[in-house]
Amino acid sequence: MQKHLHGATMQHVNRGEFLSTKLFLPGLAEQRRIAEVLDRAEALRAKRRAALAQLGSLTQSLFLELFGDPKGNPKNWPMRSFAETMRDETSRSEKLQQSNYAEAGSYPVVDQGQSEIAGFCDDESMVCVSELPVVVFGDHTRAVKLVVEEFVVGADGAKVLVPQPNTDATFLASLLRMVPIPNLGYSRHMREVKRLSYIAPPLHLQREFARRVAAVEKLKSAHRASLAELDSLFASLQHRAFRGEL
């Protein structure tokens, strides 16, 4: 098809040459066989996506099973203030402006956006100095991210929250996703986080929750890897099918 493209600044197709181009078209029985192969491959991809969706909601279910809904505290856990549960160490580390994010680098950039990793940075002096693990909270977005490896704090709205010794980081991340932080649009929400009170289950129970979440994350990683392989296989099957090689 490339030989029928003309033009320097904008490629366009010559209608006559395009209409005269011959395409591979197998017989109807072969078309049906190809469609069946592709349908089976797509069904496997759909199952993996469904499994990932179920695993995505499992963490919240585990939290509710162990601790109940923190909005109503049905299990009557003790309550602690913001300062008793976590501390804000945002000011301890320099922030990287979005215009300086790189597409690759030694350290991931974690900001207040919805993506787990927003970019990369090679400057070691920019690495967050807080002791890991930490929770990054989006002041504008209310996004919550558990960070367990060295990273660079990105943009203006990312807040670095460090759990107090009586609080597990995995538990804290899930707790912040479930407490009633009002939606103020693009206004800042950190003041609301500091006004709230937080349930305080025993630390051993928080760590049991973290252990279960780690098992779920391991399963999610395996399913993501499998889905990536299936996506690659599906693309290969499509390519081979349209070339008459399937």
pLDDT tens column, 162-214: 999 999 999 999 999 999 999 998 899 999 999 999 999 999 999 999 999 99
Give the model confidence (pLDDT) of 113-156 as tens digits.
999 999 999 999 999 999 999 999 999 999 999 999 999 999 88
Q: Which residues of 30-68 are buried (b: 16+ CB within 10 A; e: fewer)?
A: eeeebeeeeeebeebeeebeebeeebeeebeebbeebbb
pTM for the full model? Answer: 0.73
Question: Does domain 81-198 correspond to CATH entry 3.40.50.720?
Answer: no
- In the chain, domain spans: 27-59+211-242, 81-198
pLDDT level of residue 10 (50, 70, 90 thresholds): very low
Half-sphere exposure of 209 (CA within 13 A, CB side): 26
Residue 51 scores a pLDDT above 80? no
Buried b (16+ CB within 10 A) or exposed e, 95-107: bbeeeebeeeeeb
Mean pLDDT of 2-28: 62
